[in-house]
Amino acid sequence: MTIYNEGTREIAEEIEARTRANPDFARKLGDFGFIELEDTWGDETTILNTARVSTSNRRLRSVEDLTEKDRNLLFHLLSKHHGTPFETVYFRFRFIAPIFVLRQWVKHRISTWNEFSMRYRKPISAYYVPDRKARTVEGFEVVSAEQVERYAALMESIFNFYETEYRESCRRIDEASDKGLIPEGKSDPAARNPYRARAREILRSAIPVSAYSDVYWTVNFRSLMNFFDLRTKENAQYEIREYALTAFDLFSKKFPLLSDLYRKAGQTS
């Protein structure tokens, strides 16, 4: 896979740096995919204290203080789908995924979503390549290795097209600036140039949904459970399921008790 632009190389380097710096909570997926659980707010005590606000003045300060009664209440809340207490615990994930995966992910709307913008930056010039497992259904390879080679060649040509045409647009903008046809200084690459920005806006229309994008996703635990319930199932699309399973593994490492009770509650539902 050719990486055409400097921004994409910087992101690739950052992925490597984050997986080294935060190995328990940062994972690579495939050639360019990535997910990291960057931060969380609240824990099991937050959920229990919220649930008890109408019934008790008792407040838990630490997960280590949980009694068997507390664990039973937490399990009851999970298994009986008492939703609002779980909205008080938050997670912030960063993930780099193909755009077609993002289109499914963004349907989980009760969350905060901040995505890489191809208006302000050139696109991430890396694209998803399905491996053999992704191409196989019940033992049958639905897309051959030869087809994947042709697919990759097409993706390379699209990114090459973007780079070639963007350079041409920048050349025309700089030439117009030198001739006084557009205000001086507007073609400075370090500034937010409206002419270059419009060129990026137009040319991003050619970028395929196999291209990667970069997202910060902040979500409460109730919404995260809905994501896990739907996207880790066997019938979920392969690519988003890989991300969902990885996200669940990161969540489980951060909250082993909560994830264990969540699993058990799902088995009893």
Q: What percent of the chain has pLDDT over 70?
A: 95
> What are 102-150's pLDDT values in tens digits?
999 999 989 999 999 999 999 999 999 999 999 999 999 999 999 999 9
Considering the domain 1-128+210-269 in this protein, what is its CATH number?
3.30.1360.170
Contact 47/86 with Cβ under 8 angstroms?
A: yes
Asked which of 9-18, 222-231, 259-268 is least confident by mean pLDDT, the reply is 259-268
Residue 190 has pLDDT above 60, yes or no: no
| CA atoms within a 13 Å half-sphere pointing along the CA-CB vector of 142 | 7
Q: Domain boundaries in the chain?
A: 1-128+210-269, 132-209
Residue 70 has pLDDT above 70, yes or no: yes
- Burial degree of 256 (CB within 10 A; 0-12, 13-18, 19+): exposed
Give the per-residue pLDDT at 54: 84
Residue 269 has pLDDT above 70, yes or no: no
CA atoms of 265 and 269, how far apart (whole Å):
6
| Rounded average pLDDT over 182-197 | 71
Give the per-residue pLDDT at 185: 54
> What are 217-254's pLDDT values in tens digits?
999 999 999 999 999 999 999 999 999 999 999 999 99
Q: Rounded to two decimals, what is the model's pTM?
A: 0.93
Supply φ then ψ for residue 62, to 5 degrees: -150, 145
CA atoms of 47 and 224, how far apart (whole Å):
14
| Rounded average pLDDT over 160-165 | 96
More confident residue, 133 or 188: 133
> What are 24-37's pLDDT values in tens digits?
999 999 999 999 99
| Rounded average pLDDT over 10-22 | 96
- Residue 135 annotated in active site: no
Residue type, 68: E
Provide the pLDDT confidence category of residue 193 given band limits of 50, 70 and 90.
Answer: confident
Residue among 94, 200, 222, 231 flagged as catalytic? 231
Residue type, 242: E
Mean residue pLDDT of the chain comes to 93
Provide the pLDDT confidence category of residue 55 given band limits of 50, 70 and 90.
Answer: confident
CA atoms of 223 and 88, how far apart (whole Å):
11
Contact 186/194 with Cβ under 8 angstroms?
A: yes
SS (H, E, C) the chain: CCCCCHHHHHHHHHHHHHHHHCCCCEEEECCCEEEEEEEEECCHHHHHHHHCCCCCCCCCCCHHHCCHHHHHHHHHHHHCCCCHHHHHCEEEEEEEEEHHHHHHHCCCCCCEEEECCCCCCCCCCCECCCCCCCCEECCEECCCHHHHHHHHHHHHHHHHHHHHHHHHHHHHHHHHHHCCCCCCCCCCCCCCCHHHHHHHHHHHHHCCCCEEEEEEEEEEHHHHHHHHHHHCCCCCCHHHHHHHHHHHHHHHHHCHHHHHHHHHHHHHC
Give the per-residue pLDDT at 189: 53
| Rounded average pLDDT over 190-206 | 89
Give the per-residue pLDDT at 254: 97
Give the per-residue pLDDT at 184: 64
Provide the pLDDT confidence category of residue 159 given band limits of 50, 70 and 90.
Answer: very high
Provide the pLDDT confidence category of residue 56 given band limits of 50, 70 and 90.
Answer: confident
